[in-house]
Amino acid sequence: MTDLLLTNARLIDPQAGNVTTGAIGIAGGKISAIITDDSPLPEAGQTVDCNRKHLGPGLVDIGVKVCEPGERHKESFGSAGLAAAAGGVTTMVTRPDTDPAIDNPEALEFVIRRAREAAPVNVLPMAALTKGRKGREMTEIGFLLDAGAVAFTDCDHVVTDSKVFARALSYARSLGALVLAHPQDPGLSQGAAATSGKFASLRGLPAVSPMAERMGLDRDIAMIEMTGAKYHADQITAARALPPLERAKQNGFDITAGTSIHHLTLNALDVADYRTFFKIKPPLRDEDDRLAIAEAVQSGLIDVISSMHTPQDEESKRLPFEAAASGAVALETLLPAAMQLFHAGAVDLPTLWRAMSLNSATRLGLDCGRLAIGAPADLVLFDPHAPFVMDRTTLRSKSRNTPYDGARMQGKVIATYVSGTPVFQRS
């Protein structure tokens, strides 16, 4: 018998690439039935009328920073899990850039245990690629895989020693492990707070050319060609990085790429009068870059949209722009911000769900992120048209450094289900 039946919903199917009206049955934590025609509905222990709201796979968010261990006052697994559930994120793939870094099996086991105890959503940890994220000696990738790491990354610490990077990539390839990297030339980007151009010059901000991203990606692509490793670029934000990415894919390299929701919906001018909540890494780009990245998402050249959730406390943000910490929270704002692309006609809903759910799951070898019988019943029910004004004081994250504070947005999560169990329901 079906445990839960969600009826009268607009079903977003990222695999089929369509939106249809129908119902979903859930049994034993998995999708047991998908009805999109006039077939009779199965009997169910509980039936929920979705009132023609949209129902899709829960979001799979690669690159979430949870500040345990070391900076729990900024974000904990409990607070991040609540924020994720409220934002329709059913799986958080967490970064290892904690204090200390997640670079050994003991630290990884601590993260897994804390997440299991505190978070209402799925949490899959990544581990550091090199010890201490210092780029000098690779971590014990095999042991970390056995302990539960789903991928390896040094986050925004670029491994500058190509020999060390090549060795780590080769070893990861031998184990079938995925490596994430931050494409950036660290020499050019060191100390930068903005993208180079007239705006940065007028504001007197230290800036970096978008070519630093292109140069970093070119280096990484050469390393992929040499080693044959599985590689994911965490954030592609500049139009100039798209041609080499396209060539690498055409050449058959095992490469995927992501971008952040902030780079898809904001541009360099949003910094305005040194608004530090808009200081992120890489810095916000020009409008031409933003439009090019949105087009790359629609075409499928960029595979993944992530929140790149990076909590920072008030003390680290309420500083002069150059000295302020980089990063923004986005677990709760990922979906409504993505609706800006939908309402602008830049990216359709099935494509958004491929980028925010299916492609992320596929890259990590997960069976979620899709509407299919037997798939986990990790689902989000939402209204893409519901208007609201973002108020950062209502966010469930411990840190509330969102650039969308005060913005008029559309798209509210109504309910989030993990394995068929509601973990968030809007009252």
Burial class (CB in 10 A: 0-12, 13-18, 19+), 259: buried
Q: Give the span between the Cα atoms of 5 and 33, in whole angstroms.
A: 9
Look at residue 408 and tell me if it is in a domain: no
The pLDDT, as a whole number, for residue 22 is: 96
Q: How far is CA 213 from the centre of its chain?
A: 19
What pTM does this model have? Answer: 0.96
pLDDT tens digits for 124-135? 999 999 999 999
Instruction: Output the six-digit token pair for 175.
Output: 């184990």
Helix (H) or strand (E) holding 416: strand 408-418
pLDDT at 427 over 90: no
2: tokens are 């079906």
Distance set, CA 247 to CA 171, 244, 293, 300 (Å): 25, 5, 16, 14
Tokens of 91: 């799986």
Q: What gap in Å lies between CA 227 and CA 170, rounded to an integer? A: 5
Helix (H, G, I), strand (E, B) or coil at 160: coil
- On whether residue 317 sits in a domain, the answer given is yes
> Which of 145, 151, 205 minimizes the C-alpha distance to 364?
151
Per-residue pLDDT, averaged over 158-169, amounts to: 97
Residue 22 near residue 11, CB atoms below 8 Å: yes
Model pLDDT for residues 197-216, shown as the tens digit of each residue: 999 999 999 999 999 999 99
- At residue 1, the pLDDT reads 77
Longest dimension (CA), the chain: 66
User: Is the predicted pLDDT of residue 192 greater than 80, yes or no?
Assistant: yes
49-74 pLDDT, tens digit per residue, is 999 999 999 999 999 999 999 999 99
pLDDT digits over 78-93, tens only? 999 999 999 999 999 9
State the pLDDT at residue 68.
95
3-state class of 6 per DSSP? strand
Q: What is the mean pLDDT of residues 320-348?
A: 97
- State mean pLDDT over 351-374: 98
Residue-wise pLDDT tens digits, 392-413: 999 999 999 999 999 999 999 9
In whole angstroms, what is the distance from residue 171 CA to residue 229 CA? 9
| Number of domains present in the structure of the chain | 1
With left for phi above 0 and alpha for psi between -120 and 50, is residue 285 left, alpha or beta?
beta
Is residue 404 in a domain? no
Q: Provide the residue count of the chain.
A: 427
Q: What is the CATH number of the domain that holds 240?
A: 3.20.20.140
Please indicate, yes or no, if residue 36 is contained in any of the structural domains.
Answer: no
Q: What percent of the chain has pLDDT over 90?
A: 97
* Closest listed residue to residue 283, CA positions, set 268, 261, 273: 268
Q: How many CA atoms lie within 13 A of 353 on its CB side?
A: 28
Quote the CA–CA distance of 207 and 138 in Å, as a whole number: 31
Whether residue 117 lies inside any domain: the answer is yes
The residue whose two tokens read 């411990």 is 398
Q: Is 218 contained in some domain?
A: yes
- How many Å apart are CA 179 and CA 165, to the nearest integer? 10
Mean pLDDT of 253-268: 98
Query: Which stretch of DSSP H or E encloses residue 249?
Result: helix 242-250
Domain that holds residue 94: 57-363
Helices (H), 257-396: 261-265, 287-299, 314-317, 334-343, 349-353, 359-363
Q: Using one digit for the tens of pLDDT, what is the confidence trace for 309-326?
A: 999 999 999 999 999 999
Name the band, by pLDDT with cuts 50, 70 and 90, for residue 39. Answer: confident
Over range 243-260, report the average pLDDT. Answer: 98
Q: What is the C-alpha end-to-end distance of the chain, expressed in Å?
A: 28
Q: Indicate whether 420 belongs to any domain.
A: no
Q: Mean pLDDT across the chain, nearest whole number?
A: 97
User: Is 46 a domain residue?
Assistant: no
